[in-house]
Amino acid sequence: MEKTEVIELLSAEKIQQRVSEIGRQITADLAGTDQLLVVGVLKGAFMFTADLVRSIQIPCHIEFIRASSYGHSMQSSGNVAISGDLDIENHDVLLVEDIIDTGLTILRIAENFRKKNPASLRICTLLDKPSTRKYPVTVDYSGFSVPDRFVVGYGIDYAEQYRELPFIGTLP
């Protein structure tokens, strides 16, 4: 597949500034927590998770799970595949996602996690598309609200391409 030119939506500088702000807010909200478990959703949230953890100024453990409903398409299949079993009982869990659009993927992950008795569960996303929400999801920390466009960059891909971009952009 030949790469197409990407139109920048959010600059690398703007992303880093917002990630730092979210990290400071999480630090303030969870001060005193000694069981913080940050769980990044692979693959799209790996860059965001790494930068976010560097901005959180309290001790934490880091884990990753895989979840996908897109495959190589620009539209969700409606089926969510989740892999990675974690022991989260009695932990304060921060679930980190790259983007929440329909809400189905994060809803399924959160439902699965709640069955495992965490001390608390908070959801953090870099990008939020509230105009496409079909499932009720409470997002505790949100980086940016974005329009209903397919986005790539900063870890987010289309058919495993564009993850390396330091900014968030849209395909024309």
Place of tokens 């209903």: 148
Beta bridge partners of 10: 168
In the block, tokens 């949100």 appear at: 142
151-166: burial string, b at 16+ Cβ within 10 Å, e else: bbbbbbbbeeebbebe
Residues 6+ apart with CB under 8 A from 26: 52, 55, 56, 94, 122, 124, 141
Residue of 51, 92, 101, 128 with catalytic role: 101
Distance from C-alpha of 36 to C-alpha of 77, rounded to nearest angstrom = 32
Is residue 101 annotated as a catalytic residue, yes or no?
Answer: yes
**For helices 12-29 and 46-55, angle between their N-to-C axes, nearest 10 degrees:** 50
Which tokens is 153 given? 């960059």
Short-list 160, 153, 107, CA closest to 127: 153
Residues classed as catalytic: 101
